[in-house]
């Protein structure tokens, strides 16, 4: 968020956004785990690297610090 850290409403919105993204990533991860690897052994998840990052450290001050 670009709002000041003390803005509780903005922090709550950001938390809800990140929770949504986490749920989407969990859904994708489960789908990969449930899908057999074509022509191979194991699941597609066994042959996948998942990385979730956030481009912001502190969006309101544009610093890379958490």
The percent of the chain in helix, strand and coil, each rounded to the nearest 5, is 45, 5, 45
This prediction has a pTM of 0.74
Phi, psi torsion values for 62, nearest 5 degrees = 55, 40
- Domain ranges in the chain are 1-66
**pLDDT truncated to tens, each residue of the chain (66 aa)?**
677 778 889 889 888 988 999 999 999 999 999 999 998 899 999 999 999 887 666 666 666 665
Whether residue 52 contacts residue 25, with contact meaning beta carbons closer than 8 Å, is answered with yes
Q: Give the pLDDT score at 45.
A: 97
The two tokens of residue 29 are 């991860």
């Amino acid at each position: 968020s670009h709002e000041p850290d003390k803005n509780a409403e903005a922090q709550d919105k950001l938390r809800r956004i990140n929770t949504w993204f986490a749920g989407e990533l969990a859904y994708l991860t489960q789908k990969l785990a449930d899908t057999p690897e074509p022509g191979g052994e194991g699941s597609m998840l066994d042959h996948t690297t998942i990385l979730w990052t956030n481009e912001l450290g502190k969006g309101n001050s544009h610093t890379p610090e958490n």
